[in-house]
Amino acid sequence: MELQITTLIENNPSDQGKLMFEHGLSFYIEADGKNLLFDTGQSGDFIENAKALNKDLNKLDVCLISHGHYDHSGGLKRLVDEIDKIPLLIVGEEFFKPKYKKIDKYVFQYNGNSFDEAFLEKNQIPLRKLNEDIMTLTEYILVFHNFHRHTDFESRNTKFYLKENNKYIPDEFDDEIALGIVTEKGLVVIVGCSHIGIVNILKTIAERVNIPIYAVVGGTHLIEADEGRMEKTMNAFQDMGIQLIAVSHCTGEKGIRFLQQNLKDKFQYNNTGNVIQI
């Protein structure tokens, strides 16, 4: 089975500088006869990029949003206005819990979705809230949820919170989901931000499926990591035998440089407009 992943939008500009870019992430994925959208960026500008890259959003079968932050879900409203056929939306069960970012000791800024379930109902968007560990879309396309914390170096970012009963509580990112595509070379794992830790995600997936992980594509949130965490993350990639590391977005400039310098030909700079074929 052939797999093609096109990065519709990402923090970094395209090689030719002709596409829009922003702090956000969106992938157009073609696999097993299905067209999938994974995340919708921050603003909806991924739609213009999709047109420029000849990716027809009206042909989407499924839209998945990795977690409930604005830079991954923010483009959904524009997508609904743009296309005729509304695909199935898949999110983690906890996706609609209001998310906040702590700015200082007493100030919390809303950091979550620009839509709620009422918006989806009004626009007749089919919704699947995932509560199980694995959802099988097709024989070769899997969605993962409920990740375990295996490592001691991927600590929770203390600036992210949920608001429940008018109280701010730490966000454990229980809503996070990841996509797995089975190829002849192994499993390709596609992630949004990996707030729970990219190694935690990969180790959890490895426990659940007896398929070697060939590639990791997406955001790793190494933007906040010191060199020790970067090195432990890279060592975990190598220990798991991962052959392609195509990460960006919240990986951060230092994280990208570190992985690029150390992983060499196993690393791919996954900027806006990049196409991965496996």
By the 8 A CB rule, do 260 and 232 touch? Answer: no
Question: Whole-model pTM?
Answer: 0.97
Q: What is the pLDDT of residue 93?
A: 98
Bridge partner residues of 276 (DSSP): 5
The percent of residues above 70 in pLDDT, for the chain, comes to 100
Q: What is the pLDDT of residue 85?
A: 87
Integer angstrom CA distances of residue 140 from 13, 179, 181, 222, 236: 31, 11, 6, 29, 25
Q: What is the pLDDT of residue 82?
A: 96
Q: What is the pLDDT of residue 63?
A: 98
DSSP 38-68: E---SSSTHHHHHHHTT--GGG-SEEE-SSS
Which domains can be identified in the chain, with CATH numbers?
A: 3-277 (3.60.15.10)
pLDDT tens readout for residues 93-105: 999 999 999 999 8
In the block, which residue shows the tokens 């500008």?
Answer: 45
pLDDT at 156 over 90: no
